[in-house]
Chain A
Amino acid sequence: KAGVTQTPRYLIKTRGQQVTLSCSPISGHRSVSWYQQTPGQGLQFLFEYFSETQRNKGNFPGRFSGRQFSNSRSEMNVSTLELGDSALYLCASNLGASGSEQYFGPGTRLTVT
């Protein structure tokens, strides 16, 4: 069974631009979550989508948004990029039941200059 895939793997953007990251979950998984990983803040939860609906949201500004499609693929968008948005963005999928283990993708490394 194929794992979680994320595209692109690396991205360089300029301050003020916007960016869209993509995540394809493991087949059959209906929940997709996004996390931001930085050296200073560690791993922080952004949001979770389940059956095309946002089920949970972390404490991030509205510039961070996401969506999920009917095939469970998910996209995350960041508008008006700031230098502090430079991070590794990780996507994880699971079956959706509370307490389920999450399966992580390799991440997208975003650098904002």
Chain B
Amino acid sequence: GNSVTQMEGPVTLSEEAFLTINCTYTATGYPSLFWYVQYPGEGLQLLLKATKADDKGSNKGFEATYRKETTSFHLEKGSVQVSDSAVYFCALSPNYQAGTALIFGKGTTLSVSS
């Protein structure tokens, strides 16, 4: 079946530190991959996405590369800010079937201190 595994949190960093949140997936075929972010008390916002192998998604300084050989989609940011404190979810959407259902990882809480 389809599944997403994320590194357990919480991740605690100082401002300007380098961030990596690991994400690996199991899927049939070639899924689309996403990172969503949830700020306290809010719904989910799309952070970035990649739809095929070797694609790199990027937004707001965050990047992730679709690696089919390692079935991974790790999220990185070179210099985090306090405002990046949130919960980050890795997700996949199977493309072998009609529809746009998302399968999410458990989420990783990031806390950035000044």
Contacts and interface: CB of A to CB of B under 8 A. Distances in A.
A100 to B, nearest CB: 5
Contacts of B107: 42-43
A31 B93 CA distance: 14
B99 A56 contact: yes
Contact of B45 (A55, A100, A104): A104
Contacts of B25: none
Given A33-B101, A48-B100, A58-B101, A43 B89 contact: yes
Interface string B100-114: 111111110000000
B20 interface: no
Contacts of A48: 99-101
Interface string B16-32: 00000000000000011
Interface residues of A, number: 28
Contact of B100 (A43, A58, A97): A97
A106 B38 CA distance: 10
**Dominant SS among interface residues on chain B:** loop
Interface in A34-89: 35, 42-45, 48, 50, 55-56, 58
A90 B45 CA distance: 12
Nearest to B92: A99
**Dominant SS among interface residues on chain A:** strand
Contact of B102 (A33, A96, A107): A33
Contacts of A90: 43-44
Contacts of A97: 100
A35 B34 CA distance: 16
Contacts of B102: 33, 35, 43, 45, 92, 102
Interface string B75-96: 0000000000000010101110
Contacts of A104: 36, 43-45
Contacts of A106: 42-43
A36 to B, nearest CB: 11
